[in-house]
Structure 1
């Protein structure tokens, strides 16, 4: 039988996220494990997909149940700020047109006009990161279901890719393994970082 390797097969396309702005919302519940996942997602986007560090915004919430609300609120806030910034930019451009000169030796304001700057405004993708570990009550099942449905709904309602980065583990060992904190473990944050870039590019792709 052919060897089967569990996990996601990397995209065969070049995923260049240099023009993307990504939000990571993470919980402070089980924070040591969550921090490893956030680090994996962030470093993958920067080193593998060229996302600028300054274009990755990281926010935290108490627990997993709060993730959908925070993601939705931050998406809406960023979109509003982006609309305001566009209006201000248009006004500035209009003012600038009235002051145009034909001077050939006019120097640019920036010493490096070709350098990329941090983006402002709307996010191109969101990653919701958390770690749920089963306890002795039904709390685990209720939270898993609510968070899963909530995160999916935010993505569909906002038309922004929202990556489900919530581990739902039966014990501590599973969580540590999936955060890459034990030998032979794998940090799933790396997969979520790549997924965020890929889905943002899918959304923006012209067909």
Structure 2
């Protein structure tokens, strides 16, 4: 199973963080589970009033994630589902969305929770959507990753030496 080796669950205190969630609209049932998981993770972490934006599909995730990242948010969670079909369309959408979300994060310095499911079958997507009977909850997990990274970046701002130098920074949480 792909979820093997995930870090253990620890409580995240995200109070004070400003977070946006951008979610594609294709595959209603899967997207409902992903979005529910993301909102549950935010609520448990004490993140109030997240900005939630729906877009047509996964291809549109990067452009809206970029706008959210540049708006002053501390983290953005991108949720989408692409299920393989009989044409190369799957490969193009997955590659474009993945590269676009990576570029947004690197260019803006804002962590992007990667909740884009790229599955061979609809059953695989349902199994990762955090629905009753699912083995994984990628909406929840990708949101926790974005929150942890946002907190790490906030902590780094207070410990990085000015002008360079070396300092060991322990991994937390």
TM-score (norm. length: structure 2): 0.84
**Inter-CA distance 188–163: structure 2 relative to 1 (3 Å threshold):** same
Say what the alpha-carbon RMSD is for the aligned residues.
1.6
1:153 aligns with 2:103: yes
Q: Tell me the number of residue pairs that the alignment of Structure 1 and Structure 2 aligns.
A: 155
Range moving further from structure 2, 184-193 or 134-143: 184-193
Contact 2:22 2:76 in 1 (8 A): yes
Deviation, structure 1 residue 7: 4.1
1:32 is matched with 29
Match of 2:151 in 1: 201
Give the Cα separation in 1 of the matches to 2:83 and 2:151.
Answer: 32
> Are the counterparts in 2 of residues 23 and 127 from structure 1 also a CA contact under 8 Å?
yes
How far is the alpha carbon of 1:15 from its aligned partner?
2.5
What displacement does 1:184 show?
4.9
2:16 and 2:9 map into 1 onto residues whose CA distance is 19
TM-superposed CA distance for 1:20, in Å, is: 0.3
- Gaps of at least 5 residues in structure 2 are 160-173
Matches within 5 A, 1:129-148: 129-148=79-98
Task: Point out the structure with max Rg over C-alpha.
Answer: 1
- Residue 22 of structure 2 aligns to a residue in which SS? strand
CA contact (8 A) 1:26 1:34 kept: yes
Where structure 1 has 5 or more consecutive residues not aligned to the other structure, the ranges are 79-121
Name the residue aligned to 1:169. Answer: 119
Counterpart secondary structure, 1:198: helix
- Residues 39-80 of structure 1: per-residue CA shift (max 9 Å, x gap): 101112212x2222x2x110011011111011112333x2xx
The separation in 1 between residues aligned to 2:7 and 2:68, in whole angstroms, is 31
